[in-house]
Chains A and B, each alone.
Chain A
Amino acid sequence: MRSSTSIWGCSIQFLRAIPLDQLLIQTINGIVTGMILALVASGLTLIFGIMDVVNFAHGELFMLGAYVGVIVLAATGDFWIALIAASLIIALLGAAIYLMTLRPLLGRDPLTTILATFGVSLVLQNYALWQFGPVARKIQEPFTGHFTLFYLDYPWYRLVIALLSAAIIGALWLFLKFGTYGIWIRATTQDRVMAQAMGIPVPWVLTVVFAIGAGMAGASGVLFGPLVGVNHAMGLDWILKAFIVVVVGGMGNLVGSIAASIFFSLLEAYASLWVSPAQAIIVSFVVLILTLLFRPTGLFVPTPK
């Protein structure tokens, strides 16, 4: 390899200048964040796939999940109970939101659902601000402890998050693939009218799917909580990233969302080696723009009715 002024040569020198351990840390960070984002995005894309609803309030469900985690953790001292409680409570909240605001909009222009969920997100954000105040809370990790990877200390907890998120997504996939309810959900997603004609209780299926998506968002909130402070605005960041991911990965495309989540998170993790995290998101923006420019329009065909 010659050190020349060619682009290849410069890139090699550039990459060489980055310490390997930093690269490794960021790779793992990217995967960890990517898995959490995948958990959030899967819920979003599942909901969109089955009922053509873009759930603007998804980020707030994530945020409220984290808060419920804080409260339950304070009450019981057990992280895992907090995780399960948050998932269930947010799932119920999701079902309630669906029944009150989205069910009435079923026959109407799908764009009204964006408006409705946007309104819900404003209410939930400000509710959190009102109830919990502007100061960030903290969720304690269930276990501290690092392991050594080469010459660095990396917290165990982060790896566990990634594994747990993968496990939840895997469980979702299995649930959809086998079992009666999985068939009902997939049938309803493909052809809602025929699903009804086959006796599948579609109104109930829609409610349950929304609840599942919400529960996944809530779980993500608790899992992510120990990494940053929990505050009322944390959902905004995630909904933005989730939107980018599902636009690129394909609305309603579960595998695409997961792949895109990891891809974008890795990108931003690497970018943060050079710029601040606030600016790292620009990289995602650029990739999005490039995708919009070059990807064939087949990516943007809305799901068939």
Chain B
Amino acid sequence: MSTGTAPTAPLLEVEAIHTYYGKSHILHGVSLEVGRGEVVGLLGRNGVGKSTTLKAVTGLVHPSRGEVRFEGRLITRLPAHRVARLGIGYVPEDRRIFRLLTVVENLRTGLDRHGVTAAAKKELLEKVYAYFPVLAERRNQAGGTLSGGEQQMLAIARVMMLEPKIILLDEPTEGLMPRMVSQIREIIDALHRERVAVLLVEQNVPLTLAASQRIYILEKGVVRHHAPAAELQANDAVIHQYMGV
């Protein structure tokens, strides 16, 4: 919308969205924003609507009220596949890689796009293999044969194929060993270095506090608290209050 006026205009703006699941009112007016290249954490107990918020951004769920803007443009009613093409990547809870497709084929679901030359595709592929050597090793194996951690790598790698401007990560460390958890941390840092924004939904509070610049805390479908991560690291009483941790 505004070209060159506000270099700090948020990349993603969620304005007071409400969602329903049948008759259940899940999100009661959630608002948040993510700036370019920013890592933003979304914390909250189970069932408060964190995943639903991400789905509303991707277009897999359409809010009945409220708006979602990406790069200033209204995307609230766009179908999910258009949203993805705009540069919003989604890594869902439980990964959901295509189990019967090989690693390469999984990557190709994001790689095979219009307007990308063969050379560029090759380069992208090499880059992601450099990040995740284990995927290079297993490139012709079916996705379903990978371990949990490897599937998580694949889910993130797959989304990177879209060359997204923002990646939505839903509980990436769930069920992973500590070694893999730190690998996820490294990946988030790497993405941040590459100026890819990240909206991180997590139950792992320390990881989220360390990796993010800002934190939103969700409770019962509303944002209850919003602060820079540093502030919450110093004073974690608020976290205890909402997370019960």
Q: In the complex, are the beta carbons of A194 and B98 less than 8 A apart?
A: yes
Collect the chain B residues with CB atoms within 8 Å of residue A202's CB: 81
- A20 proximal to B (CB < 8 A): no
Q: Given A180-B112, A183-B105, A187-B109, are A197 and B92 neighbors across the interface (CB < 8 Å)?
A: yes
Q: Which residues from B are CB-within-8-Å of A191?
A: 96, 98
Q: Check if A190 sits within 8 Å of B100, measured CB to CB.
A: yes
A292 in the interface, Cβ–Cβ < 8 Å?
A: no
| Residues 175 to 213 of chain A near chain B (Cβ within 8 Å) | 180, 183-184, 186-187, 190-191, 193-203
Cα of A197 to Cα of B79 in the assembled complex, Å: 9
- Which A residues touch B139, using CB under 8 A? none
Tell me if B122 counts as interface (CB < 8 A to partner A): no
- Give the residues from 211 to 229 in chain A that come closer than 8 angstroms, CB to CB, to chain B: none
> Which of B60, B90, B108 is in CB contact (< 8 Å) with A180?
B108
Distance in angstroms between the alpha carbons of A28 and B47 in the assembled complex? 61
Interface size on A, residues (CB 8 A): 18
The interface size of chain B toward A, counting residues with CB under 8 Å, comes to 25
With an 8 A cutoff between CB atoms, is B113 at the interface? yes
Given contacts A191-B96, A197-B60, contact A186 B101 (CB under 8 A): yes
Provide the residues of chain A in CB contact with B81, threshold 8 Å.
Answer: 195-203
* Cross-chain contact B108 with A196 (CB below 8 angstroms): no
Q: Measured between C-beta atoms, what is the minimum distance from B113 to chain A in Å?
A: 7
Contacts of B100 in A (CB 8 A): 186, 190
Min Cβ gap A254→B in Å is 12
What residues of chain A lie closer than 8 Å to B159, measured between beta carbons?
198
Q: Tell me which residues across on chain A come within 8 A of B158, comparing CB atoms.
A: 198
Q: Given that A183-B101, A190-B100 are contacting pairs, would A198 and B79 also be in contact in the complex, using a CB cutoff of 8 Å?
A: no
Whole-angstrom distance between the alpha carbons of A185 and B133 in the complex? Answer: 28
Please provide the chain B residues from 79 to 113 with a CB less than 8 Å away from any CB of chain A in the complex. 79-81, 84-85, 90, 92, 96-101, 105, 108-110, 112-113
Given the known inter-chain contacts A190-B100, A196-B84, please indicate yes or no for A184 contacting B109, CB distance below 8 A.
yes
Which one of B59, B92, B162 lies within 8 Å of A194 (CB-CB)? B92
**Would you call B98 and A187 a contact (CB within 8 A)?**
yes
Kindly state the separation between the CA atoms of A196 and B230 in the bound complex, as whole angstroms. Answer: 36
> Could you pull out 5 A-B pairs where Cβ atoms are within 8 angstroms?
A190-B98, A196-B84, A197-B80, A198-B159, A199-B84
Given contacts A183-B112, A193-B96, A199-B85, 14 further A-B contacts (CB under 8 A): A180-B112, A186-B98, A186-B101, A187-B101, A194-B97, A195-B109, A196-B60, A196-B79, A196-B81, A197-B84, A197-B90, A199-B81, A199-B162, A200-B109
The 3 lowest CB-CB distance pairs between A and B, nearest first, are: A199-B84, A196-B80, A180-B112
B residues at A contact (CB < 8 Å): 58-60, 79-81, 84-85, 90, 92, 96-101, 105, 108-110, 112-113, 158-159, 162
Binding site for B on A (CB under 8 A): 180, 183-184, 186-187, 190-191, 193-203
